[in-house]
């Protein structure tokens, strides 16, 4: 039985999600104590509980401690079964994080799976749907994992009510991923989306991004989402290069002006473009598990975040592999992942 301390490293929900994914793929049971022990409100929230319930359902797992607020969980999986599944968080919790928990185990289950996930699709501290669609899934396809996603309805905090549909297919061949250079810029765009809020907010946001990044009007897109069930606002900056696409986000909040929201996104875009690293800090964290479970590979990134180093530690508890991080010059680092697939 693998024992995990939920306070380790960044001490958040990612420890649990990665452990669930790895347990489903390896068949190894685990116990985690002090779940989300590094957070102001420890224990399972609705999003994390839905991850557990989704993992238990696809893996026919025996679970003890699956309750809101629980700080200890025992998870004993059996074989993963592909199929049609619907998972609803019941709040604005992140659907993309639930998806990332079960995506790889279902891809390796040997059958086609169709998922419908309900909850938040554009959340702070979680990859938004646009990142999933344009940055993450294309790289999974390069590794051999085949999945497509469709946004049925956007869901913002606090109302939620969003929905995504995902198709997952068994891979033919798993391949290593090598991302050492971005390549030339092939596209760029900024999108500002408002839901149940004045359209002028989005107009001001793209104008600010355009001014800060010196982009032309054809790169700037302001739009209103009439289908979302509650108010929401997000700025998305998409930077397309030959070898990788980065999606940068900033979210509207009470007390924050449109210009402040847009400036946050534009400043992060500037930081990304100021280095030659093809893989940004958030993508680096999220590539570790699929690369490990595929054929490995190597990527160059900026200094790893606590999320990434914590993820590496969790992977090592389930798999006897050594992920190495070495200086690559100019403040960048090369991450080499031996594949277990």
CA distance 313 to 42: 20
Catalytic, 122? Answer no
The Cα-based distances of 254 to 27, 154, 166, 223, 229 in angstroms read 45, 19, 32, 20, 18
- Residue among 292, 265, 268, 307 at smallest CA distance from 13: 307
Expressed in angstroms, the distance from the first to the final Cα of the chain is 22
Catalytic residue among 48, 122, 282, 307: 307
The Cα-based distances of 5 to 25, 236, 281, 288 in angstroms read 20, 35, 24, 20
258-294 residues labelled b (16+ CB within 10 A) or e (exposed): bbebbbbbbebbeebeeeebbbbbbbbbbbbbbbbbb
Task: Supply the residues annotated as catalytic.
Answer: 307
């Amino acid at each position: 039985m693998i024992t995990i301390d939920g306070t380790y490293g960044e001490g958040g929900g990612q420890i649990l999600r990665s452990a669930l994914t790895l347990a489903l793929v390896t068949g190894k049971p685990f116990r985690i104590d002090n779940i989300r022990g590094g957070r102001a409100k420890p224990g399972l929230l609705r999003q994390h509980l839905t991850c557990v319930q989704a993992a238990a359902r696809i893996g026919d797992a025996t679970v003890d401690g699956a309750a809101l607020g629980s700080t200890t969980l025992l998870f004993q999986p059996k074989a993963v079964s592909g199929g049609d599944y619907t998972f609803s968080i019941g709040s604005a919790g992140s659907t993309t994080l639930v998806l990332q928990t079960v995506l790889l185990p279902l891809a390796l289950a040997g059958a086609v799976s169709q998922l419908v996930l309900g909850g938040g699709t554009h959340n702070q501290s979680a990859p938004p749907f646009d990142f999933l669609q344009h940055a993450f899934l294309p790289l999974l396809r390069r590794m051999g994992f085949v999945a497509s996603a469709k946004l049925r309805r956007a869901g913002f905090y606090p109302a939620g009510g969003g929905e995504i549909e995902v198709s997952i297919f068994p891979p033919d061949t798993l391949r290593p991923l090598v991302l050492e250079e971005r390549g030339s810029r092939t596209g760029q765009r900024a999108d500002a989306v408002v839901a149940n809020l004045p359209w002028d907010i989005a107009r001001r946001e793209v104008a600010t991004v355009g001014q800060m990044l010196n982009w032309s009007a054809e790169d700037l897109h302001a739009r209103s989402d009439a289908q979302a069930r509650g108010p929401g606002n997000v700025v998305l900056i998409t930077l397309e290069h030959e070898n990788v696409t980065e999606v940068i986000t900033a979210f509207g909040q009470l007390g924050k002006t449109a210009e402040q929201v847009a400036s946050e996104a534009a400043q992060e875009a500037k930081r990304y473009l100021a280095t030659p690293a093809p893989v940004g800090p958030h993508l680096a964290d999220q590539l570790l598990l699929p690369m490990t479970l595929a054929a490995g590979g190597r990527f160059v990134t900026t200094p790893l975040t606590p999320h990434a180093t914590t993820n590496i530690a969790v992977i090592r508890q389930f798999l006897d592999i050594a992920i190495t991080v070495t200086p690559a010059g100019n403040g960048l680092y090369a991450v080499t992942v031996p594949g277990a697939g």
